[in-house]
């Protein structure tokens, strides 16, 4: 029996790794897509490779696309990554770590690959609750993307448009931790930190680390990720 193909956006973080594991458990033949977009933490691409290997996905493409040609953001440029933000303030505005149109670009690349593969499903780890205030993680954005994608492609014209699946959309970080663990995912191989050390150790103080640590704490399990000594 041939499994239906799906393209899964895989950053190497805990959300996209969980999403890839979900896609696989739901019976999809996973084709994982990562993008080397000029992020200063190449550590996350190593994590994406580890996750793809561990899950044994069919194919993992790492695409080069240097978004630094357009200017910078904290994730691609030289601005400092905010640290120790109070939890109540995370998600209150659009943070400096927002990369312009990143999910739109990544979904569009996934759409191209899906059309080439004749895949009807694209998975993204977007999360609307603990979402750090990015506009392109909101449910209404993903719905609008799906409506556009249905008109954009050969499949959309000839019947059978692509579905944009965001299974973590309305989950808390602790629910994501529990779902990932239930699927047997080793979160120790994922990388969430916006500002990791060269050896991959997480800072424990950026918004991504703070949300992750809170998620593990609420789930009542230890985070297997390595953190920098100053944090531990």
Residue 106 backbone phi and psi in degrees, to 5:
-65, -45
Strand order in the sheet with 59-64: 59-64, 29-36, 5-9, 121-123, 163-165
Residue 10 to residue 124: CA distance in whole angstroms: 8
List the structure tokens of 138. Answer: 């909101």
| Longest CA span, the chain | 56
Q: Please state the closest distance from residue 111 (CB atom) to its own copies, in A.
A: 4
Tell me which stretch binds its own copies (CB under 8 A): 45-53, 106-114, 174-182, 223-231.
106-114
The number of residues that bind its own copies (CB under 8 A) is 45
Euclidean distance between CA atoms 32 and 6, whole angstroms: 8
Under the criterion CB under 8 A, does residue 112 sit at the interface with its own copies?
yes
What letter does residue 223 receive in the DSSP assignment?
-
Q: Are strands 121-123 and 5-9 parallel, antiparallel or unpaired?
A: parallel
CB of 155 to its own copies, least distance (A): 9
Each residue 139-178 as x (binds its own copies by CB under 8 A) or -, in order, gives -xx--xx-xxxxxxxx-xxx--------------------
- Applying CB under 8 A, the span of 18-26, 136-144, 190-198, 205-213 interacting with its own copies comes to 136-144
Question: Rule CB under 8 A: is residue 63 a binding residue for its own copies?
Answer: yes
Nearer to its own copies, 77 or 200 (CB): 77
Which residues of the shown chain bind its own copies in the complex (CB under 8 A)?
A: 61, 63-67, 69-71, 94, 98-105, 107-109, 111-113, 115-117, 135-136, 138, 140-141, 144-145, 147-154, 156-158
């Amino acid at each position: 029996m041939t499994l239906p193909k799906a393209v899964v956006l895989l950053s190497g973080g805990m959300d996209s790794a969980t999403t890839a594991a979900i896609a696989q458990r739901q019976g999809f033949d996973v084709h994982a897509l990562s993008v080397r977009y000029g992020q200063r933490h190449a550590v996350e691409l190593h994590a994406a490779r580890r996750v793809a290997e561990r899950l044994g996905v069919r194919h993992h493409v790492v695409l080069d696309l240097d978004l630094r040609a357009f200017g910078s953001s904290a994730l691609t440029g030289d601005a400092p990554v905010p640290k120790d933000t109070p939890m109540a303030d995370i998600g209150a505005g659009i943070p400096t770590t927002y990369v312009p149109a990143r999910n739109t670009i990544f979904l569009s690349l996934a759409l191209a690959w899906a059309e080439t593969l004749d895949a009807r499903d694209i998975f993204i780890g977007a999360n609307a609750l603990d979402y750090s205030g990015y506009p392109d993680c909101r449910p209404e954005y993903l719905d609008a993307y799906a409506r556009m994608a249905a008109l954009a492609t050969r499949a959309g014209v000839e019947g059978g448009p692509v579905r944009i699946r965001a299974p973590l959309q309305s989950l808390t970080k602790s629910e994501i931790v529990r779902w990932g663990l239930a699927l047997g995912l080793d979160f120790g191989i994922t990388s969430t930190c916006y500002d990791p050390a060269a050896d991959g150790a997480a800072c424990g103080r950026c918004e991504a680390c703070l949300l992750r640590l809170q998620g593990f704490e609420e789930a009542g399990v230890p985070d297997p990720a390595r953190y920098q000594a100053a944090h531990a």
